[in-house]
Amino acid sequence: MIEKDFSIITDDDQTIYGLINGPEGGSSKALILVHGLTGHMDEQHLIKTAYRFAKQGYDVFRFNLYGAQKDARKLENTTLAIHANDLNTTIDYVKSKDSYKWIGVAGHSYGGMTILHANPDADALVFWDSSFSTATIWENEAIIIDGKPTVNWGISVNIGEAMYKEGLNQTLDESKNLAKQIKAPSLVLHAAESLKTPAYKGVFDSLDCTKKLVVVEDADHCFTRLGNMDEALSAMNLWFKKYS
């Protein structure tokens, strides 16, 4: 298996930093992974996904939507619209290599919302425990600290005024309309635990494309419990095989 860095300069002179994992000799199939809010490309569920699919013959691209590098975006200055543009920029970068005949995209949590906003030109998609009602998230989970919108998920993180307002102002009907524009075959992969909260409900019902719903019982949002990742990745593998 190979592992190598890549970077992309965006239209507004920011840099997207990422990693490629793949088989020796390369592949004609590219899988792009999108992390969630306050997350990053080196979370355990994304690393496991990259390694699993690299072993199965995919070149797996994972990247940070923001980062510590001077020329990388900062979370407090981003929005879903910016994330979506950066996802499509990454897809364009992958397509520019000419060697890829198939592209899949999987977005975890708020990464699923990034997919919704991007409506990417891809052969297959996975909404991986994707959130859907952004207003619900910010109304229930954001607090204002020193005048700044903040989430406290174990660590307090400033999400930025623009993203906060964007999320509050996106109605459920707007999320549904975005979902109806998706044309690529889409797997909606949910942790049973997440479906107990309103923020995650509605993705599958709102999609108007070829679709399938898989719910992993006893799974948490990041699929950390024993056996959950294997079940999630097996469902992804079957979906991508079907459309590649």
Tell me the C-alpha distance between 139 and 169, whole Å.
11
Nearest to 17 by CA among 26, 27, 4, 28: 4
- pTM exceeding 0.85: yes
Cβ neighbours of residue 234 closer than 8 Å, sequence gap 6 or more: none
The one-digit pLDDT tens for each residue of the chain (244 residues) are 899 999 999 999 999 999 999 999 889 999 999 999 999 999 999 999 999 999 999 999 999 999 999 999 999 999 999 999 999 999 999 999 888 999 999 999 999 999 999 999 999 999 999 999 999 888 888 888 888 888 888 888 989 999 999 999 999 999 999 999 999 999 999 999 898 888 999 999 999 999 999 999 999 999 998 889 999 999 999 999 999 8
Do the beta carbons of residue 143 and residue 157 sit within 8 Å? no
